[in-house]
Amino acid sequence: MTTVANPTYRQRIGYQAGLLGGFAMVAAAMLVMGDIATREAIDERQAEDLLASLGQVIPAGVHDNNLLADTLTLDTPDGTVTVYRALEGLDVTAVAFETVGQGYGGAIRVLLGVDKDGRILGARVLSHTETPGLGDHIEAARDDWILSFDGKSLGDPPPARWAVKKDGGVFDQFSGATITPRAVVKSVKEGLELFAAHRDALTASAVQQTATAQ
């Protein structure tokens, strides 16, 4: 920045401060405009993504509603859980919600679909930071492992066998990675326990729900 003409007013602290402040204001204004211009489109895209994931854990045949429209929130010790309900008419046929496990590299978010009897319809990992090549076999795109939860419930296998094979359970671990599948199994089991604890509230028909809400 060896500008040839460097007028004296530019050396003043006021000019410098004004310049920096001015740039900060312009930057803030641009970010606000950018946010306003894109917010709606981003929300739409994210809703589409969520719907696509929900479609993987709740088969289209068991509901006739928009999964994103009929939601409930559950207050648990770990925070609020949003529950997406699959309705046939006004009866709840299945629910889907997110459960989180602590893996080797951080949180593993699992979306779990459970039918009204507590049987797993499907589970999918939404996001994780596990070691590539070792822990990422929990992704449906890479391995069929996550499908081994389909049809399982709290009683089947019995609670003691809800673990990876190394711990005496029924679920496979991966060579070189035990912590990751262990975390997923644990989070799915916790999800089922959450469902069992709130089963009546979650599967109450939609009419009753609106009635109690009023």
Among residues 10, 161, 165, 166, the one that binds another protein under rule CB under 8 A: 10
Residues 28-47, interacting with another protein (CB under 8 A): 30-31, 34-35, 37-38, 41-42, 45
Indicate the residue among 10 and 161 with the shorter CB distance to another protein.
Answer: 10
User: Is residue 3 at the binding interface for another protein, with CB under 8 A as the rule?
Assistant: yes
Region of 66-74, 81-89, 127-135, 190-198 interacting with another protein (CB under 8 A): 127-135
Task: State in angstroms the smallest separation of the CB of 9 from another protein.
Answer: 10
* Number of residues this chain uses to bind another protein (CB under 8 A): 27
2 contributes a contact to another protein by CB under 8 A: yes
8 binds another protein (CB under 8 A): no
Going from the C-alpha of 205 to that of each of 75, 90, 93, the distances in angstroms are 19, 6, 9
Q: Are residues 202 and 179 in contact, defined by beta-carbon separation less than 8 angstroms?
A: no
Position 133 contacts another protein (CB under 8 A): yes
Which residue's CB is nearer to another protein, number 22 or number 155?
22
Q: Closest distance between another protein and the C-beta of residue 12, in Å?
A: 10
Contact residues: another protein, CB under 8 A: 1-4, 10-11, 15-16, 19-20, 23-24, 27, 30-31, 34-35, 37-38, 41-42, 45, 49, 131-134
